[in-house]
């Protein structure tokens, strides 16, 4: 049985993926209200600035800065419960999953 102290539950880290104009900004705003940290957000679209740049590189076929992406993942890990959103994740999530998988096997 749990003792009477308040037990803090850790929220899972989330990636919000969906095509543009599908409600991802509203969902992300609600996640922030519910307690998720929204790191790197700089505008009303609630997109992480560096993730947006990296996803744009993938979408446009430019050289993907893998080292920068790993650094962004490291920065995200500094937050207890984070959520990130970028509509480009609908096209780029597989690349990110590869990076996350590689990091989790080396941790």
DSSP 8-49: PPPPPPEEE---TTSSHHHHHHHHHHHT-B-TTB-STT--BH
Percent of the chain's residues with pLDDT above 70: 88
DSSP class of 4: S
Q: What is the pTM of this model?
A: 0.84
Say if residue 95's pLDDT is above 80.
yes
- Which tens digits make up the pLDDT trace of 54-66? 999 999 999 889 9
What pLDDT is recorded for position 1?
44
d(CA 13, CA 104): 14
Say if residue 87's pLDDT is above 70.
yes
């Amino acid at each position: 049985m749990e003792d009477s102290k308040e037990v803090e539950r850790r929220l899972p880290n989330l990636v919000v993926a969906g095509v543009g104009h599908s409600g991802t900004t509203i969902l992300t705003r609600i996640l922030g209200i519910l307690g998720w940290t929204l790191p790197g957000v700089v505008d009303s679209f609630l997109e992480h600035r560096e993730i947006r740049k990296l996803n744009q590189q993938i979408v446009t076929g430019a050289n993907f800065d893998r080292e920068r992406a790993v650094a962004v993942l490291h920065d995200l890990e500094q937050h207890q419960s984070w959520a990130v959103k970028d509509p480009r994740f609908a096209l780029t999530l597989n690349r990110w999953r590869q990076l996350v998988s590689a990091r989790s096997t080396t941790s």
